[in-house]
Chains A and B, each alone.
Chain A
Amino acid sequence: MPSLFESLWSAHEIRPGLIAIDRVMLHERTGAAALRALEAAGRSIVNPAHAFVVMDHIVDTRPGRTDSTLMPGGQAFITETRAAARAMGLTVFDVTDPDQGITHVISPELGIVLPGLTLVAPDSHTGTQGAFGALAWGIGSSEAEHALATGALRVAKPGAMRVTISGRLGPGVTPKDLALHLIARHGARGGEGMAVEFAGDAVTALDMEGRMTLCNMATEFGAFCALVAPDAATFAWLEGRRHAPKGAAWAEALAHWQTLRSGPDARFDRELHVDAADVAPMVSWGTSPQHSAPLTACVPTAAEAGLAAETHARALAYMGLAPGQPLLGLAIDGAFIGSCTNSRLSDLRRAAAVVKGRRVAPGVRKALVVPGSQAVKRAAEAEGLDGIFTSAGFEWRESGCSLCFYAGGESFGPGERVISSTNRNFESRQGPGTRTHIASPEVVAASAIRGAITDPAELTDRAELA
Chain B
Amino acid sequence: MPAPLRSVSGPALPFWQDNVDTDIIIPSREMKGTGKTGLAAGLFANRRYTDPVARTENPDFPLNWAEYREARIWLAGANVGCGSSREHAAWALAEQGFRAIVAPSFNPIFFGNCVRNGIAPIVLPRPVVEALGSPVTVDLETMTVTAASGEVHPFTLPEEVRTMLIEGLDPVALTLREADAIAAWQEADRKARPWAWLQ
Residues of A whose CB lies within 8 Å of any CB of B are 14-15, 17-18, 20, 22, 29-30, 32-33, 36-37, 41, 43, 46-47, 49-50, 71-73, 76-77, 80-81, 114, 116-117, 122-124, 138-143, 145-146, 149-152, 154-156, 158, 188-189, 192-193, 222, 224, 243, 245, 249-250, 252-253, 256, 288, 290, 308, 310-311, 314, 405-408, 424, 426-429, 432
- Between-chain CB contacts (< 8 Å), 11 pairs: A14-B185, A50-B198, A124-B109, A222-B107, A249-B195, A406-B27, A407-B29, A408-B29, A424-B21, A424-B23, A426-B23
Question: Quick check: A33 and B36 within 8 Å, CB to CB?
Answer: yes
Question: Quick check: B172 and A139 within 8 Å, CB to CB?
Answer: no
Question: Quick check: A428 and B175 within 8 Å, CB to CB?
Answer: no
CB B92 to nearest CB in A, in angstroms, measures 13
CB A145 to nearest CB in B, in angstroms, measures 6
Question: Quick check: A427 and B23 within 8 Å, CB to CB?
Answer: yes
CB B106 to nearest CB in A, in angstroms, measures 9
Question: Quick check: A143 and B195 within 8 Å, CB to CB?
Answer: no
Given contacts A114-B196, A428-B27, contact A142 B105 (CB under 8 A): no
Q: Of all chain A residues, which has the CB nearest B78?
A: A189
Name A406's contact: one of B28, B90, B108, B158 (CB within 8 Å).
B28
Question: Quick check: A158 and B113 within 8 Å, CB to CB?
Answer: no
Name B172's contact: one of A81, A146, A407 (CB within 8 Å).
A146
B58 interface hit (Cβ, 8 Å): no
Given contacts A20-B186, A252-B195, 7 further A-B contacts (CB under 8 A): A15-B181, A18-B178, A20-B185, A46-B182, A222-B79, A408-B28, A424-B21
Chain A hits for B35, CB < 8 A: 33, 36
Question: Quick check: A122 and B85 within 8 Å, CB to CB?
Answer: yes
Give the one of A142, A158, A249, A314 with max B CB within 10 A.
A142
Question: Quick check: A140 and B193 within 8 Å, CB to CB?
Answer: no
How would residues 176 to 199 of chain B score, 1 for a CB under 8 Å from any chain A CB and 0 otherwise? 101101100110010001111011
CB A157 to nearest CB in B, in angstroms, measures 11
Give the one of B23, B52, B109, B189 with max A CB within 10 A.
B109
List the 7 closest pairs (A to B, CB-CB), nearest first. A408-B29, A253-B195, A245-B195, A140-B113, A140-B87, A141-B87, A124-B85
> With the chains together, A80 CA to B34 CA distance in Å?
8
Q: Of all chain A residues, which has the CB nearest B34?
A: A32
Question: Quick check: B90 and A140 within 8 Å, CB to CB?
Answer: yes
Question: Quick check: B34 and A77 within 8 Å, CB to CB?
Answer: yes
Residues of B whose CB lies within 8 Å of any CB of A are 17-19, 21, 23-24, 27-36, 46, 52, 78-79, 82-87, 90, 105, 107-109, 112-113, 116-117, 158, 160, 171-172, 174-176, 178-179, 181-182, 185-186, 189, 193-196, 198-199
Question: Quick check: A426 and B175 within 8 Å, CB to CB?
Answer: no
Question: Quick check: A20 and B195 within 8 Å, CB to CB?
Answer: no
Question: Quick check: B87 and A152 within 8 Å, CB to CB?
Answer: no
Name B171's contact: one of A154, A308, A408, A426 (CB within 8 Å).
A154
Chain A hits for B194, CB < 8 A: 249, 252
Chain A hits for B52, CB < 8 A: 432
Chain B hits for A243, CB < 8 A: 198
Chain A hits for B109, CB < 8 A: 124, 138-140
Question: Quick check: B171 and A146 within 8 Å, CB to CB?
Answer: yes
Question: Quick check: A427 and B112 within 8 Å, CB to CB?
Answer: no
Question: Quick check: A428 and B185 within 8 Å, CB to CB?
Answer: no
Question: Quick check: A152 and B182 within 8 Å, CB to CB?
Answer: yes
Give the one of B116, B117, B193 with max A CB within 10 A.
B193
> With the chains together, A245 CA to B196 CA distance in Å?
8
Chain B hits for A192, CB < 8 A: 79, 105
Question: Quick check: B179 and A150 within 8 Å, CB to CB?
Answer: yes
Give the one of B19, B34, B35, B113 with max A CB within 10 A.
B34
Question: Quick check: A154 and B29 within 8 Å, CB to CB?
Answer: no
Question: Quick check: B198 and A139 within 8 Å, CB to CB?
Answer: no
Q: Of all chain B residues, which has the CB nearest A76?
A: B34
CB A438 to nearest CB in B, in angstroms, measures 13
> With the chains together, A165 CA to B113 CA distance in Å?
33
Given contacts A158-B108, A427-B23, contact A73 B87 (CB under 8 A): no
Chain B hits for A250, CB < 8 A: 195
Chain A hits for B21, CB < 8 A: 424, 426
CB B71 to nearest CB in A, in angstroms, measures 21
> With the chains together, A145 CA to B178 CA distance in Å?
16
Given contacts A123-B85, A222-B107, A424-B83, contact A152 B116 (CB under 8 A): no
Give the one of B19, B82, B195 with max A CB within 10 A.
B195
> With the chains together, A116 CA to B113 CA distance in Å?
26
> With the chains together, A146 CA to B179 CA distance in Å?
12
Chain B hits for A252, CB < 8 A: 194-195
Chain B hits for A139, CB < 8 A: 85, 109, 112
> With the chains together, A308 CA to B34 CA distance in Å?
38
Given contacts A142-B116, A151-B186, contact A188 B19 (CB under 8 A): yes
